[in-house]
Amino acid sequence: MTREDFGVGYRFPAVSRSLTREAIIKYHHLLEFLTKGSTASSDGGIHTSVEFAKQHGFADLVAPGMMTTNWLSQWLTEVFGDGYVKGGSLQTNYLKPVLAGDSVTMNMEVTRIASEVSGLMVDLGLRCENQKGEIVTIGTASVLVHQRPSAHFEEAHSILQ
């Protein structure tokens, strides 16, 4: 990407992640431990029991929606650095469940650019799709771009690949 490419409508190269049962269970247990100091009462739900998930109409374990938010936040940190973690924002809505075995592709597009004293305020549209092309998570973000974007973005994207 060159500086000239960077404008409203620019689409960042998509990034994909695969989701396993083990990853969902690990996430759930770590969140439980982090917030409660124990995982003692956390098993048996749609995030940890395939049988329970199937009884409730899901084909497999259901990933907590926050997993896709974490992936998007990580992507924003990689690409925009301090322009996201200091003064940036992220908003996500969970539209459809993500299941174990799904492959999720994250998409990011520039929707608005405004000049600020300290750089460019860039608004982004975010979309996570499963392998069927269904949108599972949709969102927006705002970031401040302090520096010439091209080299920074190329380096960030190479890290993610």
Partner 1 sequence: MAATKFIIDVRANEELAPLKLVVTPEMVEMWGESCNNHHPWHTQASPFGGRIAQPTIVMPILLMVRALTCPDGSGPFPLVHRSYEATNASPCKVGERIEAKGKCLARYSKRGREYAEWELVLTGEDGRLISRYKHTICWNAMPSSESEKK
- Tell me the CA distances in angstroms from 21 to 41, 61, 77, 96, one per residue in order: 19, 6, 26, 17
69, 98, 99, 136: which one contacts partner 1 (CB under 8 A)?
A: 69
Using CB under 8 A, pick the residue from 1, 39, 60, 64 that binds partner 1. Answer: 64
Among 38, 55, 91, 103, binds partner 1 (CB under 8 A): 91
Backbone angles phi, psi at 86, to 5 degrees: -130, 95
By CB under 8 A, is residue 48 in contact with partner 1? no
Question: CB atoms < 10 A from the CB of 94, how many?
Answer: 18
Site for partner 1 in 2-41 (CB under 8 A): 23, 26-27, 30-31, 33-36
Residue position matching structure tokens 């500086």? 3
Residue 106 class from Cβ within 10 Å (0-12 exposed, 13-18 middle, 19+ buried)? buried
Determine if 45 is a binding residue for partner 1 (CB under 8 A): yes
d(CA 118, CA 16): 32
Question: Any contact of residue 103 with partner 1 (CB under 8 A)?
Answer: no
Closest contact distance (angstroms) between CB of 54 and partner 1 is 16
The verdict on 71 binding partner 1 (CB under 8 A) reads yes
Dihedral over Cα of 118, 89, 107, 113: its sign: negative
Kindly state whether residue 70 participates in binding partner 1, applying the rule CB under 8 A: yes
Which lies closer to partner 1 via its Cβ, residue 5 or residue 160? 160
Instruction: Give the binding site for partner 1 (CB under 8 A).
Output: 23, 26-27, 30-31, 33-36, 45, 64-67, 69-71, 73-74, 77-78, 81-82, 84-94
